Amino acid sequence: MVERIDKSTSAEALLAATGRTREAWRALLEQAGALEWTHKATAEWLVNEQGVDGWWAQGITVDFEQTHKGRLPGQQADGTFVVSKTRTVPGERLDALAAVRTAIEARHGDAHGENLAASYPVVRWRLDDGTRLSAAAQKQGKSGTGINLTFEKLPDPAAMAPAEEEIAAIFEAAAG
């Protein structure tokens, strides 16, 4: 299951990258009025007014929302949920991605889009239930290529466990 962001990002890394602790960011955001702001407004304020790198600003914003606004782990700003897992698949980048794509297409049909020339080649599907699935190839390593599978637009937390199971089944089929 997806963890709270404060469990998946180390306090030491946050402090080193931003100069503040998680608690200090929470207090500063609360004092600044972020309880009334959108996700986008909060992240932009962190970048523009506090000089925080965009990646860290997203994490600080999610942490604040989980702590003060009831945002659940895996929940996106639009209220839907996401599940994402990465596994190393043997082979060069496009070959590893093709193996996973074949496994997905056997289960879900043809992809609706792809960008194989991107820095991180990606293939995408829009599924009949309104969710989206993507497969993206990371940099190739010694033992193969990391392939990230992401289900987006999941309607509620109950849909997360079946999505995680589907991701595991896809990786198993690709390895087969």
pLDDT number for residue 6: 65
Q: 124 with 169, same domain? A: yes
Domain that holds residue 160: 81-175
Q: 158 with 94, same domain? A: yes
Q: 88 with 127, same domain? A: yes
The helix or strand, by DSSP H or E, that contains position 89, with its residue range, turns out to be strand 81-89
For residue 72, the number of C-alpha atoms closer than 13 Å in the C-beta half-sphere is 16
For 81-109, write each residue's pLDDT tens digit. Answer: 999 999 999 999 999 999 999 999 999 99
Q: 89 with 166, same domain? A: yes
Name all contacts of 65-74 with Cβ < 8 Å and 24+ positions apart.
65/39, 66/4, 66/5, 66/6, 67/6, 67/26, 68/26, 68/29, 68/30, 68/34, 68/35, 69/35, 72/157, 73/1, 73/2, 73/3, 73/4, 73/5, 74/1, 74/2, 74/154, 74/157, 74/160
Q: 96 with 153, same domain? A: yes
The pLDDT mean for the chain works out to 91
Last residue of a domain, one of 68, 103, 120: 68
Give the residue-averaged pLDDT of 20-38.
95
For 32-88, write each residue's pLDDT tens digit. Answer: 999 999 999 999 999 999 999 998 998 999 899 888 988 887 788 888 999 999 999
Going by C-beta distance under 8 Å and a sequence separation of 6 or more, which residues neighbour residue 78?
none
